[in-house]
A and B are shown apart, each in its own frame.
Chain A
Amino acid sequence: MGLIEKFFALLEPQHWGVHPDDHKRPAADAPLRSLPLPERLYIPLQQHIGAAARPIVLVGQSVLKGQLLAEAQGATSAAIHASTSGTVAAIGDVTAPHPSGLPFAAITLAADGDDRWADTGTAVDPFALPPPEVARRVAAAGVVGLGGATFPSALKLGLGLKAEIHTLIINGGECEPYLSCDDRLMRDFATETVDGIRIMLHATGAKQALVGIEDNKPEAIAAMTAAAQGYSEIAIRPVPARYPMGSEKHLFSELTGTEVPADGRTTDLGALVHNVGTAWAVHEALRNNRPLVERIVTVNGGAVARPGNIRVPVGALVEDVLAFVGLREEPARLVMGGPMMGSLLPHRRVPVVKGSSGILALTAVEAAGFDPGPCIRCSSCVRACPVGLLPLEMSARIANGDLDGAVAFGLKDCIACGCCSFVCPSRIPLVHYFNHAKGELAAQGRAQLRNEAAKRLVAARAERLERDAREKAEVAARRKAERAAAKAAEAARSAAASSEATT
């Protein structure tokens, strides 16, 4: 940090982020419940970043709980397992839990009601296994990042081995309002979570683990501190409650005091960030040989009659979950995830996936409407932005179709946390503008690649046509030469014959 930087830091202390009403209680304090097994589960093949899994079961086949349904395909992918025992009823499209309402492929499972586990082998001591074997088992269990990014966890662990990780950062921030699934997990499964953290330390070779928990969860902090007693390598670190504290880079900065360079990752600085839920899933995978087939989902919002945290099998419909907790009124908006970054659900018949941290049934009062007025340049968004961007300048450019201008103002550094839209008094849908621009830029990039590929094909074809023509010409020339030679020989022969005849 240069002198000028220090001067600016003094003038403008980092007041990033916002403090939304957290709405976490009473849902967080309600005891954990389990969703009664639905009759049908719709288990999507794509519940992670990367390529969709490839189904290895047939329609009509009987499967047991935890049995592999689809295997990972390609470098970045994750396995999918049966969430209960039953019969494969169909393999086809279902609506994705995504604002577009587009379909994606899923395996429909008709439950037989027994919920019988497959024989997944006997558990071994994970600390006796070599680290790559631990990562392999995590991959086989289909564990993905449960914080919402759903990046395949085994790949991240493997990355840890390659990049010489010294610190494991466990994200128990849960800064999104309304959500308390991580809170509940840390309260109810602290021992298991700490065990998962120790396994991840072993798998990555990291020396220490820092567990960041927002200070609005004193019970979780107490439970985790108690569970981590005796493990000096695990430190529970309360962090101030402020949105978006759970952002990977911001939690990293809060705990270590350094910033992740732009375009870089925390692994460049020797730290790997995992969610607490992932630690629990790693524990289940290694200690109990159980793949990731269920998760804790917070069901909350003003329209929910009995809000709380529910253990939901992957593939259960939002409809089933809402029926279980009951609705007080018709929700104005259904959201999967938290209110700040969650996605609007097109309707209730969408499945819960590995990355579903919450289902929110919001009333019209809770759900923010955007009836945008003109920007008054109050710069609330500038102060709220945790990245230090100028949302007002970016959105003005995007509104006028100047995507490059928005990129020049740092659009690519935007983490879509929603702080700017949250505070905007003109109710401008800033994040919507940024989503649109990022999507357009990605589409343009794809079109560019396609164009270049087409150009290569055109060039290849031109070369082929030329080669064909050349070869044809060569063949023709050779034939001509041969014919000429044959003719000459013939002529010579006939000449010889005639001369012979004359002599």
Chain B
Amino acid sequence: MIAAILSLTLLGAVLGFGLGIAAKKFAVETDARVAEIAALMPGSNCGQCGFPGCAGAAAAIAEGSATVTVCPPGGKALAGALAAKLGISIDLSGVADAGPKIAAIAEEICIGCCRCVKECPTDAIVGAAKQIHAVMREACTGCGNCIDRCPTEAMKMEPVPVTLQHWVWPKPVVTEAEPSWA
């Protein structure tokens, strides 16, 4: 009886001590996933998600207060990558993915005010005062921050056209088959 009590006490003490050391030694001060998630995010800090920048959104996703579908510019691809990173499964077919969009300027109504140029997080808009501005397609992340800044509504978001080079085979649709004997 005494032996059992002693041995169990000893065992508990040793294991508890081990756990305590492990907790100290392997302590993770910040959630390592935040940095990993932030690395996946577009990084343009456009604010469409409602969080303070991409790092804020990454922290929210890591602690679970935001869903992986929170980032509109990232779209389906990002949602899938985040879900894979977090080891969760989501049904991407429900995610409204209108396809990537980028900003375009209606040149006939652009007055060259430079407001959009200042707003753009990736410096994708070029133009000087009183000159017509232009969007560099390659640099635009489609965050849409410039739209509201334009006093003449010359800015609009346009879907990126699908080209032969970027077309992707859709996933096969599986419907229950009608088997036959032939």
Contact = CB atoms under 8 A, between A and B. Distances in A.
A401 B80 contact: yes
Residue of A436, A443, A457, A461 ringed by the most chain B CB atoms within 10 A:
A457
B124 interface: yes
Contact of B177 (A100, A371, A442, A453): A371
A129 interface: no
27 contacts: A98-B167, A100-B167, A102-B162, A104-B164, A371-B175, A371-B178, A372-B172, A373-B179, A398-B171, A429-B172, A432-B169, A433-B171, A435-B169, A436-B170, A443-B77, A443-B168, A444-B80, A447-B74, A447-B75, A447-B77, A455-B42, A457-B121, A457-B122, A457-B124, A458-B43, A460-B123, A464-B123
A470 to B, nearest CB: 18
Given A443-B168, A454-B139, A461-B121, A427 B177 contact: yes
B139 A453 contact: yes
Contact of B77 (A100, A427, A444): A444
A448 to B, nearest CB: 8
B30 interface: no
A447 B122 CA distance: 16
B56 to A, nearest CB: 15
A440 interface: yes
By DSSP majority rule, is chain B's interface helix, strand, loop, or mixed?
Answer: loop
Interface residues of B, number: 37
Given A439-B167, A444-B81, A457 B172 contact: no
Given A433-B172, A457-B139, A100 B123 contact: no
B163 interface: yes
B167 A447 contact: no
Interface of B: 40-45, 74-75, 77-78, 80-81, 84, 89, 92, 121-124, 138-139, 141, 162-164, 166-172, 174-175, 177-179
Residue of A102, A447, A461, A464 ringed by the most chain B CB atoms within 10 A:
A447
A399 B166 contact: no
Contacts of A442: 168
Contacts of B167: 98, 100, 102, 439
Given A427-B177, A461-B121, A454 B43 contact: yes
Interface string A424-442: 0001010011011001101
B121 A458 contact: yes
A251 interface: no
Given A432-B169, A454-B42, 14 more contacts: A102-B163, A104-B163, A370-B172, A372-B174, A399-B172, A433-B171, A433-B172, A436-B171, A444-B81, A447-B77, A447-B78, A454-B43, A454-B141, A460-B123
